[in-house]
Amino acid sequence: MPGTVMTMSKAINQGLADAMAADDRVLMMGEDVGPLGGVFRVTEGLHARFGGDRVLDTPLGEAGIVGAAIGLAMRGYRPICEIQFDGFVYPAFDQITSQLAKLTNRHEGSARFPVVVRIPFGGHIGAVEHHQESPEAYFAHTAGLRVVSPSTPNDAYWMMRQSIESDDPIVFFEPKGRYWPKGDVDLGAPAADLHASRVVRTGTDATVVAYGPMVSVALAAAEVAATEGTSIEVVDLRSLSPIDYAPVVASAEKTGHVVVASEAPGFVSVMSEVAATVSERAFYSLEAPVLRVASFDAPFPPAKLESIYLPDADRILDAVDRSLAY
């Protein structure tokens, strides 16, 4: 039903269930995704509904999960892999970047590998390293992969459906800190193409570009700024590879002040690329350098320090003030 209110975790669950119901070739596999429903309960109920042949609990071996998915894709299936936590993806890094990303090109386009790799990522759950990381730049840098991240339950549902239907391998980053807040989900039709950026708040004084877990922080910063007389426009990238730059550049040309924000460390990040591209394409419209807001270039700290490590609305507002001061 259109207008259904869901958490993001439920929206992803619904997207997985609807995709599996629509296509018998869709399989779900990962550690504890079966009867337990995953550590975040995102796959809850799927094993009972679709059975153990389509919702498979795997050994604790991420390379094996993705390697098996590649073999299944070669046989005509459309597998979905769950990586239990962001920091657990590294044992599968070779399979994803050296094999999955390259195989279609290696076959000169004659074979497709429709594998979705789901990765809960980011902070705000009070966990330790390997459980709160932002490895998206590794995958966005890798040719042959599509990389996306939703920020709302509605986007989570539709981007999951669109990712499963894609014939290309997709790394799907789920902001775990946003699993539980609720939002409207329109099950009637997708709001946008899978790789489309979107303006989620209009403004005139400055632009803040974000994705995934940082979009809600950017919107909170814009609310505070509005009470102080500053109008901030917020652009949600949604897709990290490819990136739809048209709304970003148009916003930069309108406001002349751009801040890019993400939870990932700032050095050689996705937002470094966005900052460089905006500087190239909107140079004559910019009234200040593009400024970056990011986590510190250090391993994720103990839980008591995560509020210092992760960017918040105050750090975004500080960057906006510095930009407007030029």
Q: Work out the burial of residue 213: count CB atoms within 10 Å of its CB; fewer than 13 is exposed, 13-18 middle, 19 or more buried.
A: buried
Non-local CB neighbours of 169 within 8 Å, separated by 6+ positions = 96, 100, 101, 104, 113, 114, 115, 116, 117, 144, 145, 146
Residues 4-185: name the CATH superfamily: Thiamin diphosphate (ThDP)-binding fold, Pyr/PP domains (3.40.50.970)
Tens-digit pLDDT profile for the chain (326 aa)? 557 999 999 999 999 999 999 999 999 999 999 999 999 999 999 999 999 999 999 999 999 999 999 999 999 999 999 999 999 999 999 999 999 999 999 999 999 999 999 999 999 888 878 899 999 999 999 999 999 999 999 999 999 999 999 999 999 999 999 999 999 999 988 889 999 999 999 999 999 999 999 999 999 999 999 999 999 999 999 999 999 999 999 999 999 999 999 999 999 999 999 999 999 999 999 999 999 999 999 999 998 999 999 999 999 999 999 999 99
Task: Tell me which residue has tokens 């795997």.
Answer: 58
- Say what the pLDDT of residue 22 is: 97
Burial annotation 124-147 (CB, 10 A radius, 16+ → b, else e):
bbebeeebbbbbbbbbbebebbbb
Q: Which helix (H) or strand (E) holds 20?
A: helix 8-22
- Say if residues 324 and 230 touch (Cβ distance below 8 Å): yes
Q: Give the tokens for residue 72.
A: 């299944």
- Residue 90 gets which letter from DSSP? G
Q: Which helix (H) or strand (E) holds 198?
A: strand 198-201
- Say what the pLDDT of residue 191 is: 82
- Say what the pLDDT of residue 125 is: 87
- Say what the pLDDT of residue 17 is: 98
Selecting among 47, 107, 124, 131, the annotated active-site residue is 131
Other CB atoms within 10 Å distance of the CB of residue 311: 25
- Say what the pLDDT of residue 2 is: 57
What would be the CATH architecture of the domain defined by 198-324?
3-Layer(aba) Sandwich (3.40)
Beta bridge partners of 61: none
Domain ranges of the chain: 4-185, 198-324
What does the angle CA 303 – CA 306 – CA 311 come to, to the nearest 5 degrees? Answer: 165
- Whether omega before 242 lies within 30 degrees of 0, making that bond cis, reads yes
Measured CA distances, 206 to 91, 181, 216, 251, 278 (Å): 41, 27, 17, 8, 14
Among this protein's residues, is 131 annotated catalytic? yes
Pairwise CA distance, residues 300 & 130, whole Å: 8
Fold equal for 4-185 and 198-324: yes
| Parallel, antiparallel or unpaired: strands 146-148 and 116-121 | unpaired
Q: Give the tokens for residue 223.
A: 């609310």
Measured CA distances, 170 to 64, 106, 240, 321 (Å): 18, 17, 11, 37
